[in-house]
Structure 1
Amino acid sequence: MLKMPRQQWWTWRNKKSEDNQTRKVDVNPRRNNDPSINERRKRRQHWSDGKSRQTSNHDGGMRSASESGKLHQHEHNPQNYGTSRHDKSSSGGTSTSSFGRDIPGFYFDPVKKRYFRLLPGHNNHNPISNEMLQEKEAEKKRLDLLNSDSAINQGATNNLESKSICPSISQILLQRQRGKISSCSYVRQCHEACVARMPVKSSNQISSCPDTGHHFESGYITLLQADKSKKKILTVISNDRFSSFWQGTVTANKENSSQFDIKNWKNISCVGRCGKVTSASWVSVDDQHDTHVLYSVSGGQESQVQLFAQYPDARHILYVGWEKGIIWTCSWSENKVLANHLSFGGRRSYIVDIVTSLKTKLNTNGSDVLCQVFAKSQPLLYNGTKRGEILSCDLRTPSRRNFASILHHHTSVCCLQLLNDENYIIASDMSGKVNVYKRQIRMCAVAREYHGNNNQHRHLPFNIDSTESVLYTVGQDCFTRIWSIHTGNLLKTLPPPLSASKQTLPSVVYSTNWTGTAGPGLLLGTQKQFHWYTL
């Protein structure tokens, strides 16, 4: 076998490599025009040139390799990417965005124009996490909304009525005089216009937390409930070690209705053993006045449901029930057919007759119950489940498998309310959706949607005023939002008066017929303070 000379062999091999490279480019011209592939080719060529220079000249080769390493680090380090991109865009004169691309595990600061690493579990002195970024953004949004309202009140911007989605009261009055709207619509639209123009800053700060002088460590306000007459306020103050129930009386100044206050605080109950109050509400046993309190506590090996009334001389307990597992909700029946009945739900759902103490298990299709509500005109109980179903159970035969699935949500249903016309059901889930459903013969259709609620995974309730004009709730971002029930428009967004925190969500109560001379307004409790917003 004849051997090829060495110089001729090298010439043949270089020519063959050039032919292969040309053939690759010609076969797939689209790949040759790909900018990412061309960039990788340049990097490989730069690396090979630096390595060849390193073999030929040791000192110069080391400098080339270090320079190529710096260039490689500059191209792959995400902290330098935002700066280099900004410099290139500013030098080139083209209008490009100063925000970098989203890189998992990194956060791009638009002020410093560089990336920072997100540390979920950290021991650093100045850590950056998603929770910190969300709280910083929420605080900025809160301050901007408060400052914008101050500017509007000072006349620095346009009139608020021109920006509001609701017409002014003068326009509504003109339509009423022309006969275009009825008297009921006139009252409702005037109410919505007043709510839309409510100031975002509280007009009066009420006295601090009622348990300041209590022998336990002071906690935070977690729940507010007003009775039917709007004379008494039920407040739940919770801590890591205990939860206490306080009852206060609403008072108002006769000369100035904006001077709202709560006095005569009484500690009516206290829950220890590291229990968490999951639900609490006023109960009218005699169908006239709200004199009793129904609440559920979860924590420890067993959960508790209790119905009691606090009298001046003693405490009257009507029912105490225990259940293994978590109890998420409890409800009282105002149906005359099912008088003296209550229900509670957790892993299982039960209905209890407090006179005979008979407890009946309900079928919930194998899912946890997160919210319940009784119907007033029919013997029905609606259960909102963790699976996202709303089940109506006929209480005339509760032990049978006779529930009817009304609708399905994509996530867990966390709150249910019935209007006076019980063909309409309002439900909210843990994704932030709040919808009104109309019951029909064979199906349940969405009648209206309320957009703008902020919820990701929490069990957050909503409330309806006594006139069924507005719907209000507190989102996971601690902002209070008020909608019109009839139109579905978002009337008002109230920022929290204090810095937003996921651990201390505000609790609100709104009414147009507070007792005494207090005008319509909203009572907000957050952390250890009460704030009053007047219309």
Structure 2
Amino acid sequence: MRPELPGFYYDEEKNRYFPIKGPIPGSKASSSSRTKQKPDPKPVQETNYQKRTKLKALKLLYSRELNGNVIPVNKKMSNFEEEIQKTQASYPEVWRYESTKNTGDAALKQLQVDIQTSVGLIKKDIIVAGSTEGCLSILRVSEPIQGFSDESETQSLNGGIECDPVSVLPRKENNAEERKAPGLILTHERCYHALSTISSIQLIGRYDESENFHCVNRALITTLGNAGRGSPFFVNLDEELNTITPQRLRGNVTSGCTIWTAECNRSGSHAAFGTDLGAALVDLETGAGSYFLQSKSDVFALQFDQSGKIVQCGLRNGAIVSVDLRDRPGRPFPRLTRHQIRYQSSSKTSQTTKNKQWFELKGNINPSHVIYMPSSITCLKTLKTYDQYLMASSMDGTIKLYDQRMDKRGGAVQTYEGHVNSHSRIEFGIDPSERFLISGGVDFYTRIWSIKSGQLLSENKFSNSVFSAVCWSAAERQRDRKDSLVQGAWLGSCEAIFNMV
């Protein structure tokens, strides 16, 4: 016997389900019903996915029951699961956490660690946050504790401060029920104050192939530096949360320069630093290292490939170069190959700028594989599913996806319209399933795109500051672990830390 489906009946002769509403298939429609029926209006073609589609989950479910996982959407066949996820992404829920002002506007990382306490080893979800004011904070993410008041901040049992989440999206309507918060952030009283802006936070750990996630026990922190005196240091994450004991990186080659960014390889053995002198590779155990790329244009962004043998470097002048770390001499300071790189030709180039059409780079690079963006590079990320795809953003608001095998022939394979930027180093985020792209803008809007189609799914303004840092929760990256909290994306601005689900 066929199972009953709400709103449908099963026709034994035709061997399929039909909706109960409307005439039974095969029956003659009455004249009155024909006169009442009106043709469906054509969908309004607008640029915003939220306004253009208005897809309802119930209608998608009905369509799946009739057509299977491949369903018709806007006269095209689409995957049911993808459409449901796009619908959810177009109407996110956002929470702002109180007492997190000027906490995570420079860098954010979320992870789960095993912390040694007086009662033994305890698993905790934490956020490592850095601010432009030089404050490094460690915040714990936990479920709401029953028995505590829902009023604003109260002192926790651990001496920290409970930061109550406040719903900011969707807008609360009159007489509407209060939505359940996804969790609490416990801000501990102790934090570390660096001498300058926290420029990057990188998690260091070994990759566990059996459980498919990184076992992280420390973080590499870099500061921007005052007058070219940036510095890297370590923070142990497996100690008590109210203790921050930074350890300096010994013998590093990045002293005396501005450190814009850093990136660790997958094994956690080496880190690449982007500075105003170029890019340096440093052994994290010994501190020994050397520059593998020298340039007069600052390196604003770095990204290792999965093998750890190639580093993508995004420069202030808009160039993206792939530097091969292999076949390098074993000397501490190898002699780098000099290259004269030609800027991308432009119809706007005048005779007065001929002397600026070339720039010099030193390193193991292929000049013919240089990618050019319209302005300074702000963020670089490779897709984990296939790292030949490189996503990059620049300060003029351009976000593009490149296939590095086709850069000379076809350029970008996808462009994401709508991003607004003019001068800020804004980090974009890619969700763990690599289906969605999220980024804040200098117009204070937060936008979500479909990575595959480039479609703008949502744009919402729920803050009066720029979201310059974004990360996803450990539970999303380690979704096979049952002891992790599911909490979506974290967004950092000078106003507060926000959570988007």
TM-score, length of structure 2 as denominator length: 0.62
Tell me how far 1:533 sits from its aligned partner. 4.1
> How far is 1:267 from its partner?
3.4
| Contact 1:225–1:281 (Cα < 8 Å) also in 2 | no
Between the aligned partners of 2:292 and 2:491, the Cα distance in structure 1 is 36
- Equivalent pair of 2:427/2:439 in contact (CA under 8 Å): yes
Q: Number of aligned pairs?
A: 351
One-letter code of the match for 2:262? C
Q: Deviations over 1:330-351 (max 9, x none)?
A: 11011x5xx5100101122110
Distance 1:365 1:319 in 2: 24
| Structure with larger RCO (C-alpha < 8 A, sep 6+) | 2
* Amino acid corresponding to residue 300 of structure 2 in structure 1: L
Map residues 259-338 of structure 1 onto 2, 5 A cutoff: 259-263=182-186, 265=188, 267-272=190-195, 275-285=196-206, 288-297=214-223, 298-310=225-237, 311-312=239-240, 315=245, 317=247, 319-320=249-250, 321=252, 322-334=254-266, 336=267
Q: Name the structure where helix makes up a greater proportion of residues.
A: 1
- 1:146-176, CA deviations, whole angstroms, 9 ceiling, x for partnerless residues? xxxxxxxxxxxxxx99834463323433454
Separation in structure 1 between the aligned mates of residue 304 and residue 376 of structure 2, nearest angstrom: 19
Distance 1:410 1:179, change over 3 A: same
Post-superposition Cα deviations, 1:389-410, rounded to whole Å, max 9, x if no partner, equal: 1111111134543212331112
CA contact (8 A) 1:307 1:319 kept: yes
Distance 1:395 1:175, change over 3 A: farther
1:187/1:307 Cα in 2 relative to 1: closer, same or farther (>3 Å)? farther
The one-character-per-residue Cα deviations of 1:164-209 (angstroms, maximum 9, x if unpaired) are 4463323433454413539x9433331221111225xx4x443313
Structure 1 CA distance for aligned equivalents of residues 81 and 441 of structure 2: 28
Distance 1:512 1:290, change over 3 A: closer
**Structure 2 residue aligned with 1:222:** 105
Q: Hey, what does 2:307 align to over in structure 1?
A: 377
Structure number with greater Rg is 1
TM-score normalised by length of structure 1 = 0.58
| Whole-angstrom distance in 2 between the partners of 1:529 and 1:387 | 32
CA distance in 2, matches of 1:511, 1:327: 26
**Pairs within 5 Å for 1:424-503:** 424-440=389-405, 443=408, 445-497=411-463, 500-501=464-465
Match of 1:251 in 2: 142
Q: Distance in 1 between matches of 2:256 and 2:302?
A: 19
Whether contact under 8 Å (1:224, 1:233) holds in the other structure is: no
CA positional deviation for 1:505 = 4.8
Give 2:387's aligned residue: 422
Tell me how far apart the structure 1 counterparts of residues 396 and 404 of structure 2 sit (CA, whole Å). Answer: 23
1:406 paired residue number: 370
Corresponding letter in the other structure for 1:222: D
CA distance in structure 1 between the aligned counterparts of 2:492 and 2:407, rounded to whole angstroms: 43
**Helix, strand or coil for the counterpart of 1:163?**
helix
Cα distance change, pair 263–442 in 1 and its aligned pair in 2 (3 A): closer
Alignment map for 1:10-21 (pairs within 5 Å)? none
The aligned amino acid for 2:381 is Q
8 Å contact from structure 1 (residues 479, 496) kept in 2: yes
Residue of structure 1 aligned with 2:274, choices 342, 345, 354: 345
Q: Residues 110 and 474 of structure 2 are in contact (CA less than 8 Å); yes or no, is this contact kept in structure 1?
A: no
Q: Distance in 2 between matches of 1:389 and 1:208?
A: 39
Per-residue Cα deviation, 1:448-483 (whole angstroms, up to 9, x for no partner) = 110100011221111111111211111112221111
**Structure 1 CA distance for aligned equivalents of residues 402 and 289 of structure 2:** 31
> Superposed, which structure 2 residues align to 1:230-241 within 5 Å?
231-239=125-133
1:210-269 residue CA offsets vs partner (Å, 9 max, x unmatched): 8xxxxxxxx554135233449211122343xxx111111111249975342111536353
Unaligned runs of 5+ in 2: 1-47, 72-77, 113-123, 147-178, 209-213, 329-333, 338-363, 477-481
What is the DSSP-based 3-state SS (H/G/I as helix, E as strand, rest coil) of the residue aligned with 2:423? coil
The correspondence of residues 389-400 of structure 1 with structure 2, limited to 5 A, is 389-398=319-328, 399=334, 400=336
Name the CA distance, whole Å, in 1 between partners of 2:273 and 2:107. 20
TM-aligned CA distance change 1:285 to 1:378, over 3 Å: closer
Residue 362 (1) aligns with residue 292 (2): yes
Identical amino acids, percent of aligned pairs: 20
Give distance in 1, aligned partners of 2:248 and 2:226: 22
CA distance in 2, matches of 1:164, 1:360: 53
* Residue ranges of structure 1 left out of the alignment (5+ in a row): 1-159, 211-218
In 1, the alpha carbon distance for the partners of 2:227 and 2:137 equals 23
- For residues 481 and 314 of structure 1, the distance between their equivalents in structure 2, rounded to whole angstroms, comes to 34
Whether the 8 Å CA contact 2:403–2:413 is kept in 1: the answer is: yes
Shift in alpha-carbon separation, 1:302–1:376, aligned structure 2, 3 A: same
Do 2:420 and 2:442's aligned partners in 1 also have CA atoms closer than 8 Å? Answer: yes
Q: Which moved more, 1:422-431 or 1:517-526?
A: 517-526
Q: Distance in 1 between matches of 2:484 and 2:59?
A: 28
Q: Does the residue aligned with 1:188 lie in a helix, a strand or coil?
A: helix
- Name the amino acid aligned to 1:190: I
Which protein has the bigger strand share? 2
C-alpha change, 1:471 and 1:162, in structure 2 (3 Å) is closer
Q: Deviations over 1:390-447 (max 9, x none)?
A: 1111111345432123311121111100002011100011111000001226736311
Among candidates 62, 68, 74, match of residue 179 of structure 1: 68
Q: Equivalents in 2 of 1:365, 1:526: separation in Å? A: 31
Partner of 1:324, secondary structure, is coil
Amino acid paired to 1:276: T
Equivalent residue of 1:208, what SS?
coil
Q: Is the 8 A contact 1:244 1:267 kept in 2?
A: no
